[in-house]
Amino acid sequence: MPTNQQIQLDNRPVGEAVASNFKLVTTETPALQDGQVLVRHHFLSLDPYMRGRMNDSKSYAVPQALGQTMGGGTVGEVMESKNDKYDVGDKVVGMGGWQQYSVVDATVLGALRKVDTTHVPLSAYLGAVGMPGVTAWYGLVKIIEPKAGETMVVSAATGAVGSAFAALSKARGCRTVGIAGGPDKCKYAVEELGFDACIDYKLHKDANSLSAALKDACPNGVDGYFENVGGMVLDAVLSRMNAFGRIAVCGMIAGYNGAPLPLTYPALILMNRLKVQGFIVSEHMEVWPEALKELGTMVATGKLRARESIAQGLEAAPEAFLGLLKGKNFGKQLVKLV
């Protein structure tokens, strides 16, 4: 069995996460038991939710244990198998964590899933045709419930979730507006992802200024909003929501370091009879097959061409993750391990 490198959570962040919260260790891979498979990871997914799990505080997920391998999505190849359903060479997606190899009990429902790379690249199963894509699909289809002709807005528009949201929203006949950071991201959003408009939040020092830009981009108001950021961005969008608008709350990255995120005008929720609903996509596994079918078709046919930011080697994961939290990534953030 191969020697395995892993990145563990060594200590918990105080405020902003830093590279010294993590440590790189080398371990021996245990021999396989019946029902298990050995997976060599090709790509590791880095996602904003991981920051919340680094804290030892009440949340929707159990905190990441100290001295244990950081959890996270992976795609890779079966190298050895003691499970009749998996053969050496099978391409698989799972939650292998921040390490080069994982030993997976493939008898556990949902622990591992075979994927077809004929028309969809392996890495896409961690992005557009994976958890981020299904997240966009669920928030749009099940919570916002868009109608053709309505206006949809998404923050973190050029990330893995936002880029999938754009394709799904446009396919349903909606005007689709993004909010992103920097001129390059906004140009990419409009020219490559198909957004009707994209607002650079970095040009706006407060919610009033951002709200004015939203008014120009959304002359008919906002019917549906997919929230990834919180803070000033949420304040700005709330001021432009139409009556009976719907907000799917997926993330609040502006508050991941522990700072409070007060709402300036929460009465707008009542005045406009808004639906505001948070969700965790892993609690809705029943929709994954339908969502993945649509997303996979979009990627295979070129209707969804999401960009990837790829860091090289396991040791690069901590810095790439910290960069993701500051918006330095362009599209889905991955770590290439092979």
User: What pLDDT digit, counting tens, does each position of 114-146 carry?
Assistant: 999 999 999 999 999 999 999 999 999 999 999
Residues 69 and 63 sit within 8 Å (Cβ to Cβ): no
Strands 74-81 and 36-45 turn out to be antiparallel
Q: Looking at the domain 3-127+306-336, which fold is it?
A: Quinone Oxidoreductase; Chain A, domain 1 (3.90.180)
- Name the β-bridge partners of 139: none
For the ranges 16-30, 47-61, 199-213, the lowest mean pLDDT is seen at 47-61
Q: Please give the Cα distance from 314 to 317 (Å, whole number).
A: 5
**Residue from 271, 162, 282 nearest 227 by CA:** 162
Average pLDDT over residues 172-183: 97
Q: Please give the Cα distance from 256 to 65 (Å, whole number).
A: 18
Query: Which pair of tokens denotes residue 114?
Result: 């075979």
Q: Please give the Cα distance from 226 to 242 (Å, whole number).
A: 14
Rounded mean pLDDT of the chain? 95
Q: Express each pLDDT in 272-297 by its tens digit.
A: 999 999 999 999 999 999 999 999 99
Give 224's pLDDT tier (boundaries 50, 70, 90): very high
* Single-letter residue type at 19: A
Q: What pLDDT does 255 receive?
A: 80
Average pLDDT over residues 148-175: 97
Helix ranges restricted to H, 201-309: 207-217, 232-238, 267-271, 288-300
Q: Where are the domains of the chain?
A: 3-127+306-336, 131-282
Q: Which CATH superfamily is domain 131-282 in?
A: NAD(P)-binding Rossmann-like Domain (3.40.50.720)
Query: Which pair of tokens denotes residue 55?
Result: 């804290």
Give 159's pLDDT tier (boundaries 50, 70, 90): very high
Q: Please give the Cα distance from 172 to 150 (Å, whole number).
A: 9
Query: How far is C-alpha 56 from the geometric centre of its chain's CA atoms?
Result: 22
- Kindly state the percentage of the chain with pLDDT values over 70: 100
**Is the model's pLDDT at 59 over the cut of 80?**
no
Q: What pLDDT does 61 receive?
A: 77
Q: How many CB atoms lie within 10 A of CB 15?
A: 8
Backbone torsion region of residue 15, taken as left when φ is above 0, otherwise alpha when ψ lies between -120 and 50, otherwise beta: left
Q: What pLDDT does 271 receive?
A: 98
